[in-house]
Amino acid sequence: MARPARIARSSILEAALNIADHDGLDAVTMHTVARRLQVTPMALYRHVASKADLLDGLVELLLTEFPPAAPQLPWDQRLNALAAGIRGTARRHPGAFALLLSRPAITPAAVRVRDAICQALREAGVPADAAGRTERLISTAVLGFAASEAAGRFRQHKQQVIDEDFAELQRWLRRMLPDPRQPSALAPHQDGAQATAE
């Protein structure tokens, strides 16, 4: 009979997140995670295929550690809840949060978060062929604000000012959503080619 696994994928990701929180992302390796869990590095490979897979799992953990917005809420409330959740994650995990600025969401759970944003945008009137690009732009703005706050860039301001700035950013982003009655400038080019100059 096979020996029961001593660890699970969830415990591996939690250990990696703890290491990133305390020592930075550069300290996250298969060896340091294995040492934290008191197992051999080979034991990790039953649950994560490589360091890249481990980092993708961390992206998933960061995107899903807060509860999802209730699907019955209006689209703007769901987007606000997601933005607040991301901001909270940045505050709790400033050492690991930069990962969301450098790696895409590719695990099924992480993709569901991205898809939830796209769904809310479609409900807001964003054409389906523009939802992906709109999500990238909005997510980049929210992630950038959250990362800046977590890194201390706004430390000279009172918390009330920072909170008001975040609320204003969300209002700006909503105003930037394309008018569903007009052709979307965010839609992909018809021939699939990317513009060479903006």
3-state secondary structure (DSSP) of residue 187: coil
Q: What pLDDT, on a 0 to 100 scale, did the predictor assign at position 181?
A: 52
Segment 65-87 mean pLDDT? 93
Domain of 41? 9-54
Task: Classify residue 160: in a domain, yes or no.
Answer: yes
Task: Classify residue 109: in a domain, yes or no.
Answer: yes
Segment 77-96 mean pLDDT? 95
**Residue 81 belongs to domain with CATH number:** 1.10.357.10
Q: What pLDDT, on a 0 to 100 scale, did the predictor assign at position 191?
A: 42
Q: Is the pLDDT of residue 23 over 70?
A: yes
Specify whether 75 is located in the same domain as 159: yes
Backbone phi and psi for residue 50, each to the nearest 5 degrees, phi listed first: -165, 175
Segment 48-52 mean pLDDT? 95
Q: What pLDDT, on a 0 to 100 scale, did the predictor assign at position 182?
A: 56
Task: Classify residue 28: in a domain, yes or no.
Answer: yes
Total count of domains within the chain: 2
What region does 127 belong to: left with phi over 0, alpha with psi -120 to 50, or beta? beta
Q: Is the pLDDT of residue 81 over 70?
A: yes
pTM of the model: 0.83
